[in-house]
Homo-oligomer: A and B are copies of this chain.
Amino acid sequence: MSLTNALPADVAKAAKLASHTLATLPTSARNDALTAIHSALSQSKDEILAANARDLELAKKAAENGELSLSIVSRLDLGKKRKWEDMLKGILDVRDLEDPVGKVTLRTKLDDGLNLEMVSCPIGVLLIIFEARPEVIANIASLAVKSGNAAILKGGKESTESFVAISKVISAALESTAVPNTAIQLVTTRDVIPQLLDLDQYVDLVIPRGSNELVRYIKSSTKIPVLGHADGLCSIYLEHTADPDMAVRVIVDSKTSYPAACNSVETLLVEEAALETLLPPVADALLAKGVSLRCDASSKSSLTAKLSAHSSAILQDAEDSDFDTEHLSLVLAIKTVSSNTEAISHINTHGSHHTDAILTSSAPLAEQFMSSIDSAGVFWNTSTRMADGMRFGFGTEVGISTNKIHARGPVGLEGLMIYKYKIRGQGHITVEYGEGEGQKSFKHEKLEL
């Protein structure tokens, strides 16, 4: 890894060149580099934590002046709890994942002696822009090396000292490996981002990791494909045949287990027929957890009749905008719908195509919901918060994508891969194939992988 003040075009060009070397390295060379990074960081704990302490001190001052939130200060602290250990363990976890490079996913005998293979390979150059948490840099560098992609990294300015310290250690560690130093480059000034976002001849994919605002800014500022999601407006449709206890459990988990997460539920659609039976206990449980309920007229009048005076007094009226808002806090918008069809139409129109769930005892309704909802995750009788690469068993998570091409939903290492077609022939030429007299036909036999 190199820490660079070079011109953005030179950074990107160097990354592209490094990507060509990286793409040809065997599994062992990439894994060895990860081992080297891991031990170098282990040995440099003191100097990195000292750099981190300098970041923390500046951040605390900024917080005292009201320029930075305390939650950001807290996320900066690399010495906190098991953060340092988790960061180091994460490098080895990524190293030990299955190699995504060089997988043959199609093998066809086009003709005798003429074989086609579709082989996975790295995308090339990733531009990864992330916010405060300093441990992210080690995770991202690991994912890039493991997947054979070169990466240009830009972290949040609050962690600059930590990033620079980590970057120097990683850079020195790579010197002794087959991975080129320019495979991972750290840029430290924000003003280079617009220029990097313009370099689509060198940069193949942008991955923003941070706030909705960051992702929205990136998506609107580049022609390079962006992997990620700006919004996570997830909905749950509560159908009247759902098991009542299950409904309470799943909705409470979806709303309250981590309200700031993108996979938390923001809108509850209640079937009219469930207003008086299923909704009241759900509402009671949510209110007990401190959730503000913003209800449409039908759900409010139904709840007002069923809940205690105290509970019904704190119900709020939903405005139209509540059904288009990702609150990211203990707020839930509740809307009454007449049917599965209306629920589907509402979600496809107002949702963010991230993750949506149906709670029902009816398999046909659930299947209809799952095939009709145009979202990355469509769940039946489980929490929207299940949408997560680790929970899916991917071993890591590059991000959650709401894109309609390439990678959708929680993205593992496969999201950093593309493929190429190799043909091995023996002088075969195209003019010999065709429907004319004496011409050959392709055999197109599927071969075993």
Q: Which of A35-43, A66-74, A383-391 contacts B (4 or more CB under 8 A)?
A: A383-391
CB-based nearest B residue for A357: B423
Smallest Cβ distance from A224 to chain B, in angstroms? 10
List residues of A (397-449) whose CB comes within 8 Å of B's CBs. 404-410, 418-431, 433, 442, 444
Partner of A246, one of B220, B377, B379, B426: B426
Which of B204, B392, B427 is in CB contact (< 8 Å) with A381? Answer: B427
- CB neighbours (8 Å) of A428 from chain B are 250, 381-383, 386
Known contacts A23-B372, A374-B20, A428-B382, A421 near B392 by CB under 8 Å: yes
In the bound complex, what is the Cα–Cα distance between A370 and B387 (angstroms)? Answer: 37
Count copies of this chain in the complex. Answer: 2
Q: Which size bracket describes the interface of A in this complex?
A: 35 or more
Contact at B430–A391, with CB atoms within 8 Å?
A: yes
Q: Is A249 part of the contact surface with B, judged by Cβ < 8 Å? A: yes
Give Cα distance in the complex from A223 to B219, angstroms. Answer: 9
A205 on the B face (CB < 8 A): yes
Interface pair B429/A249, CB less than 8 Å apart: yes
Contact B374 A124 (CB under 8 A): yes
B381 and A425 contacting across the interface, CB-CB below 8 Å: yes
- Say yes or no: is A311 at the interface (Cβ < 8 Å to chain B): no
Is residue A393 contacting chain B, with contact meaning CB distance below 8 A? yes
Residues in B neighbouring A380, C-beta threshold 8 A: 422-425
CB distance from A449 to the nearest CB of B (A): 13
- A-B contact list, 19 entries, CB within 8 Å: A20-B372, A20-B374, A108-B393, A123-B404, A205-B404, A223-B223, A249-B427, A253-B429, A257-B429, A370-B422, A378-B423, A379-B423, A380-B422, A381-B425, A381-B427, A386-B423, A391-B433, A393-B444, A408-B418
Given contacts A110-B386, A386-B430, A405-B418, 18 further A-B contacts (CB under 8 A): A23-B374, A116-B392, A121-B371, A123-B404, A123-B405, A205-B404, A246-B426, A249-B427, A252-B429, A253-B429, A366-B424, A377-B423, A378-B420, A379-B423, A380-B425, A382-B423, A382-B427, A406-B418
8 A-B pairs with least C-beta separation: A382-B425, A253-B429, A393-B444, A246-B427, A406-B406, A204-B404, A405-B406, A385-B430
